[in-house]
Amino acid sequence: MDITLDGSDYAVLLLYVAVLMAIGFYLNSRSKAGGRDIFLGGRSLSWWQIGFSLFSANAGPSMLVGFASIGFTQGMVGSNFEWLAWIFIFLMSMFFLPHYISTKVYTMPQFLLVRFGKRSYNFLVIYSLISILVVWLGCALYAGGLIISQVFDIPLMRAVVVVAVIASSFTAVGGLKAVVRTGIFQSAVIILSSVILVYLALQKAGGIQALVDAAPGHYWRLFRPASDPEYSWVAMILGYPVVGIYYWCTDQTIVQKVLAGKDMKEGQYGAIFISVLKIIMPFIFIFPGIICFVLYKDIAQPDNAYITLVSQVMPHGFLGLCIAALIAALIDTVSSGLNSFSTVFTLDVLARFREMDDDARRRTGQWVTVLAAALAVGVAYLFSHSGKGFFELSQGMVSILAPPLSVVFVGGISWKRVNRAAAEAVLYGGGLVCLVVGACHVLNFPSKEFWPHFMLLSFYLFIAMSAVLIVVTLCTKPPAVQALPSIAESWRRGGRTSAGVWTMWGLLAAVMCAIYFYFA
C-alpha cells in the first residue's frame, strides 16, 4: 500500500514518540513505589488506570487491522468477540479476582503451585512463557511490523526490530507502572484517531443510513446460520467461552493489571471500565472495514482494509495520527507481553534457583525483558512464513492454546475433588496436544480444509479435556489436604462486595442485552 506522508504527518509521529518516551521514562522516575516494583507497579493502580491499560493491551495491531479485515469480509459478526467479553470480565472481577487475592499470588503459575503442586506449576510456567511469546509478542510484532513496513517502505524484520527495541526500553526501566502510564496515553491516541477516521469515512459514504443500504444485508447480523463456514452462531456460542475464560480469567498479561489495583474494589471498577470501553470497539474498529468495503472494495484487500481507508480518507496530519495509533497499539501490546514474560520468568523460574532481594529481582527482570524481546523477534520471523491473516493467526492461536488452562482453572477453583493427577493429565497431555494442533493449524498441515473453524476446534478440545479431568478425578483418590478453598468459599469469606459494583454490572448487562436485541 503506497502511502505518502508529508511534513505534518512526520511532525505528529515525532510528537507521539517524544510524549511516549517522556511518559515511559521521565514520569516513572517520579514514582518511587512503582519504580521499585516493576511487576505489580507497587499495587497502586486506580480503576481508570487499570481500564485504560487493559484497553490498550487488548487493542493491539491485530485488532485495528484484523477487525477491519473482518468488517471488510464479514461485517458486524466480529463484534461478538468484543460484546461477549463482558460476561467473562464479570466472572474475573467478581469471582476469580477475590479468589486470587485470597490466595496471595502474583502469577498464575503460583496459583497452580498451591492448588496442584510443583509439576502443574512447572507446566504452567513454561506454557505461560510460550503463550506470551506466541500470542502477545510474536503475533503482535508480525502483524504490526508488516503494516509499518508497508507504510514506511522498509523491510519487515527491520520494522519488527525497531518496535521491539522501543517497547523493551521503557518496559525494562519502568516495568508495569511504565506500561500502564504509556497505555493510558496510547489508549487516548487509538480512540481519538479511530473516532476521527470513522467520522470522516462516514461522511464520504453519505452517512450511516447510506452505509447500511450499500453494505450487504448479512453484514449487520451478529449471529450467522449454523451452516455459515466462517462465523456460525454455533462456533461463536460454543467456542468463545473457552477463549473468554482463558484470556480474561487466567492470562497473566490481563490478570496482572487487575491484581495491581490499590484494592479489590479498584480492580473491579477497572474491569467494569474496560467492559464499557468494549461497547464502542466494534464501532471504531469494525466499521472502518465495512466502510472500506462499500467505498473501496475494488482496490482493497481484507488485510489492508484499514490502511486503505486511512490513506484514502484521512487528511495529512490526521494521517500521521492514524499511523501513530497503529504504532501505539503495537508498542503497548508488545510492552505488556514483555512485562508479563519478565514477571513469570523472574518470579517463577529464576527465583527458584537463587535468592534475590528487590534490587536483584529488578535487575534480573530488566535483562529478561530484553531477552524476551529478542525471542519475540524470532517468533515474528516464523509467523511471517505462515501465510495466514492477522486476525485468523492471533485468534486461532489463542483459541487452540486456551482449552487445557480453561479446564484446569475452572475445575481447580470450583470443584475441590479435582486432584493433582487429573490436573497433570490435562495440562501435560492436553497441553502437548494443543501445541501440536496449533503448529499444524498455523502451517495448514495436512491441509487447510482438514481443520474445522478455530472456534469449534477450541470447543472440541475443551470438551475432550473436561472429560479427561472428570474421569481421572473420579478414578483417583481425592486430595489428602485441601490447600485452597473453593471459589465459592473464598468469595463468601472475602466480605461483602460493594453494592455500587453490583449496580454497575447490572446496568452494563441491561445495555448489552439491548444491543443484542437491536441487532437481532
Q: What CATH number does the domain containing 368 carry? A: 1.20.1730.10
515 in a structural domain? no
451 located within any domain: no
Q: Is residue 101 part of a domain?
A: yes
Full residue range of the structural domain in which residue 312 is found: 50-390
Q: Considering the domain boundaries, does residue 334 fall inside one?
A: yes
Task: State residue 512's pLDDT score.
Answer: 96
Listed in sequence order, the DSSP H helices in 384-478 are 390-414, 420-424, 431-442, 454-475
Q: Give the model's pLDDT for residue 508.
A: 97
Residue 187 lies in a domain: yes
Q: What is the dihedral of CA 327, 330, 333, 339, to 10 degrees?
A: -80
**What is the count of structural domains for the chain?**
1
This prediction has a pTM of 0.82
Distance, CA of 382 to CA of 53 (rounded, Å): 28
Beta-strand runs (E) in 283-415: none
DSSP letter for 314, please.
P
In a domain, 442, yes or no: no
Query: Environment class of residue 387 by beta-carbon count within 10 Å: exposed (0-12), middle (13-18) or buried (19+)?
Result: exposed
Is residue 511 domain-resident? no
Nearest to 273 by CA among 82, 39, 89, 491: 89
Q: Which residues of the chain have pLDDT under 70?
A: 1-2, 24-44, 57, 60-62, 106, 169-183, 329, 386-394, 483, 494-496
The answer to whether residue 504 is domain-embedded is no
Which cell numbers in the block locate residue 432? 502437548
- Packed helices 358-383 and 156-205: angle between N→C axes, nearest 10 degrees: 70
Q: How far apart are CA 329 and CA 475, in angstroms?
A: 48
